[in-house]
Amino acid sequence: MTRTPVEPVTVRLPRGGLLAFAGGSIGMGVWITVPGLLLLYFLTDVLAVAPLVAGFALLAPKIADVVLHPFVGHFSDAQRARQGNRLALMLAACMLPVAFAALFSVPGGLHGTTAAIWVAAVFVLGNLLFAAYQVPYLATPADLAIGYHERTRLMSFRMVVLTVGILVSGVLAPSLVGGDNPTRTGYVVMGATLAAGMLAAMLVGIDGVRRLGTAAGMPANPAPPRLRGVRVLLGSLRDPQYRPLVTAYLLTGTATHLVLAAAPYYATYELGRSGLTTVLIAAFLAPALLATPVWLAVTRRIGKQRGLLLAQAVFAAGCLVVALGHRVPLAVLIAVVSVLGVAFAALQLLYFAMLPDVVAASAGRDIADAGSYTGVWTAADSAGGAIGPYLYAACLAIGGFVGSSGDDIQQSASALDAVRYGFGLVPAVLLVAALVIQRRYTLDGGARA
């Protein structure tokens, strides 16, 4: 039996505060996008790291995240209880741009496995700083005294600006590293340039959280007991609404991060030009800017759940077309990638709009759990960000793909098949699985007045 939460809250958030809050997503978008887009390729084709080693260098830091993020959420809840907000933790996290720059500034003497160790170590630190910002940031919709539709409106602002950040960084990063001829120096320049933008955006986001808290109010909460993060983690996995939502989100995040990691390989080895990476990323992300307001209107009529199921189905179908590769005219491929971008807009908007609905509807818990629940959520996000590239690296390894340091190496036919099928078929399977699991979510029964 489906049910939709009924909440009397009618506070409408000011547009200026919404824009400032959403501005923080630009910095988060850079961290989400650029390592996911370029780091695997950077390791295999610039630093000469074997595909499986490169995949593990990206996977290991995320394993640590799965353990640490719920505790970051618990710490955030404790800070919220003591200080009335989570801003101090977000300010401390503003060291993230330094880690981002270091991620691509691998010392010149390191190649192969030693370079992979450097990247993995810096990635651990960066992901921890990312969690320290992202967990309190995403807890904001649940912290504020706002209702069902206003949460979606808040997250729609975030989604549009996040897409701008992903689009700009996704287009700039491949260009800054050298376009068709990426270089090690180019990666250093790219890292330093985008780090500066990250810092500015993160500070704007902190100001936005403060302004929204002032406008809507944040109900006071008692301090969570010690080790509550562990209990919330275990309890959340028993929550009949949270469990399918976060599991489907994990599968979806795995698929979308895989697509990002695979894009440079698909452009280089399937389409024949590394420079087409920028075209694919732009085609994927630009439609999301226009699609987000449309999805906001659609879900007001049919509900978030039905909108999400529709987007999952569209994304899976599009991936099957992309798996055909060069057999499809380039213009058609780009059009299909644009359709994937439209679906991606809904995936990003609706998952994050439904998360605070689950927190608000959870009987027997107070809002102080928002950080702990969000910590579990970002752990799943982090896991998907690692599993996706690792799955693609495994596909490359199975196909016999050979890493290089810029040398022109002829890849085998099986390696080229792995490039194509890993980019298309694997994400399609993941999205179908996400759709099946998402159908178990019953909190949102459909349209609302």
Q: What is the pLDDT of residues 17-66, one digit of tens each?
A: 899 999 998 988 898 888 877 888 888 888 888 888 888 888 788 777 77
Name which of 202, 86, 190 is nearest 139 in CA terms: 86
Type of residue numbered 116: A
- What pLDDT does 2 receive? 44
Instruction: State pLDDT tens for residues 255-277.
Output: 988 988 888 888 888 888 777 87
Examine the pLDDT at 358 and tell me if it is beyond 50: yes
Token digits of residue 269: 């080895």
Mean pLDDT throughout 315-332? 90
Q: Please, which residues have CB within 8 angstroms of residue 32's CB and are 6 or more apart in sequence?
A: 166, 385
Per-residue CA distances from 191 to 202, 365, 385 (Å): 16, 42, 19
Token digits of residue 74: 């618990």
Examine the pLDDT at 1 and tell me if it is beyond 50: no
Examine the pLDDT at 99 and tell me if it is beyond 70: yes
- List helix spans (H) across 323-406: 330-361, 370-399
Residue 106: φ, ψ to 5°:
-70, 130
167 vs 438, more confident: 438
pLDDT band of residue 219 (cuts 50, 70, 90) is low
Q: Please, which residues have CB within 8 angstroms of residue 408's CB and are 6 or more apart in sequence?
A: none
- Report the sign of the C-alpha dihedral through residues 437, 22, 143, 445, in that order: negative
What gap in Å lies between CA 207 and CA 212, rounded to an integer? 9
What gap in Å lies between CA 245 and CA 298, rounded to an integer? 20
- What pLDDT does 155 receive? 83
What gap in Å lies between CA 435 and CA 245, rounded to an integer? 10
- What pLDDT does 353 receive? 85
Token digits of residue 316: 């899976």
Residue owning tokens 């309190």: 136
Most trustworthy range by pLDDT among 148-162, 198-212, 366-380 = 198-212
Instruction: State pLDDT tens for residues 372-420.
Output: 677 778 778 878 877 888 888 888 888 888 766 555 667 788 888 888 8
Examine the pLDDT at 132 and tell me if it is beyond 60: yes
Is the CB of residue 93 less than 8 Å from the CB of residue 206? Answer: no
Mean pLDDT throughout 312-318? 95
Percentage of the chain beyond pLDDT 70 is 88
Is the CB of residue 339 less than 8 Å from the CB of residue 314? Answer: yes
- What pLDDT does 233 receive? 55
Q: Report the alpha-carbon angle 24-265-393, nearest 5.
A: 85
- What pLDDT does 288 receive? 78
Of 128-132, 246-250, 382-386, least confident by mean pLDDT is 382-386
Instruction: State pLDDT tens for residues 220-241.
Output: 665 555 555 455 555 556 678 8
Quick one: how many helices (H) and strands (E) in the chain? 15, 0
Q: Report the alpha-carbon angle 412-177-122, nearest 5.
A: 90
What gap in Å lies between CA 357 and CA 185, rounded to an integer? 46
Examine the pLDDT at 82 and tell me if it is beyond 70: yes
Token digits of residue 241: 């609404």
Residue 445: φ, ψ to 5°:
-90, -5
360 vs 219, more confident: 360
- What pLDDT does 228 receive? 52
- What pLDDT does 368 receive? 47
- What pLDDT does 366 receive? 47
Examine the pLDDT at 370 and tell me if it is beyond 70: no
Examine the pLDDT at 424 and tell me if it is beyond 60: yes
What gap in Å lies between CA 422 and CA 323, rounded to an integer? 8
- What pLDDT does 197 receive? 93
- Mean pLDDT of all residues belonging to the chain: 82
- What pLDDT does 91 receive? 93
Name which of 67, 39, 69, 66 is nearest 55 in CA terms: 39
- What pLDDT does 411 receive? 79
Is the CB of residue 309 less than 8 Å from the CB of residue 10? Answer: no
- List helix spans (H) across 84-111: 87-92, 96-103
Examine the pLDDT at 447 and tell me if it is beyond 50: no
Examine the pLDDT at 367 and tell me if it is beyond 50: no
Q: Report the alpha-carbon angle 429-430-432, nearest 5.
A: 65
